[in-house]
Amino acid sequence: MKKRIRRIAAAGLLSALALAITYPLAGIPNVKFFELCLFLSGIFLGLWGGISVPLIAGTIYILFNPNGPQTVLLVGIAQIVGYLLFGLAGAAFGKIILANNRRLIGMTFCAATGVFLTFVYDLLTNAAWGLTIGALKPAVYSGIAFSLVHMAANGLIFGLAEPLMGRVWKAVYPLLD
């Protein structure tokens, strides 16, 4: 019972952390630590955390975004699906990342994962917007510049965060077990 409560509390804390470190950067388009927190939720809490944290934090972020709430339902659904992909990837690759002892390989893997997931997320959300306005190709094409910035930022953030993941895991694992 205690383990279950601790894991629920950890999901709440990761959701709050995702929002708390994202809101201050709201003025910088597509540079945020939100997706990293979703990825970490899957790494540290497994499949359950990789689903629950993106759903909780993603819903709050979509409804209470400092730049305004998402008012287009299809785009909001695409965002949630994209956020879930970050959490699910963390759950899928968590053991590999935490067991890795070769920093350069781990950092490269995490950076590439961040870039790929961001590409999929941006493609989903831009396509959803394009379908909503009836201009799929122009919406996707017009989002390329922002997507490139988003992918570069997440590649850097994910890659540089990798060395800390093992250290944080060693500190939190006894609390979650």
C-alpha to C-alpha distance for 164 and 121, rounded to whole angstroms: 24
Are the C-beta atoms of residues 86 and 54 closer than 8 Å to each other? Answer: yes
Distances (CA, A) of 85 to 4, 28, 90: 24, 23, 8
C-alpha to C-alpha distance for 148 and 29, rounded to whole angstroms: 11
Question: What does the pLDDT read at residue 24?
Answer: 87
Report pTM: 0.93
Q: What is the residue-level pLDDT of the chain in tens, covering all 177 positions?
A: 688 888 899 999 999 999 999 988 888 888 899 999 999 999 999 999 999 999 999 999 999 988 888 888 999 999 999 999 999 999 999 999 988 888 899 999 999 999 999 999 999 999 999 999 999 999 999 999 999 999 999 999 999 999 988 888 877 777 776
Distances (CA, A) of 31 to 8, 25, 47, 73: 28, 7, 26, 23
Question: What does the pLDDT read at residue 14?
Answer: 94
Are the C-beta atoms of residues 138 and 81 closer than 8 Å to each other? Answer: no
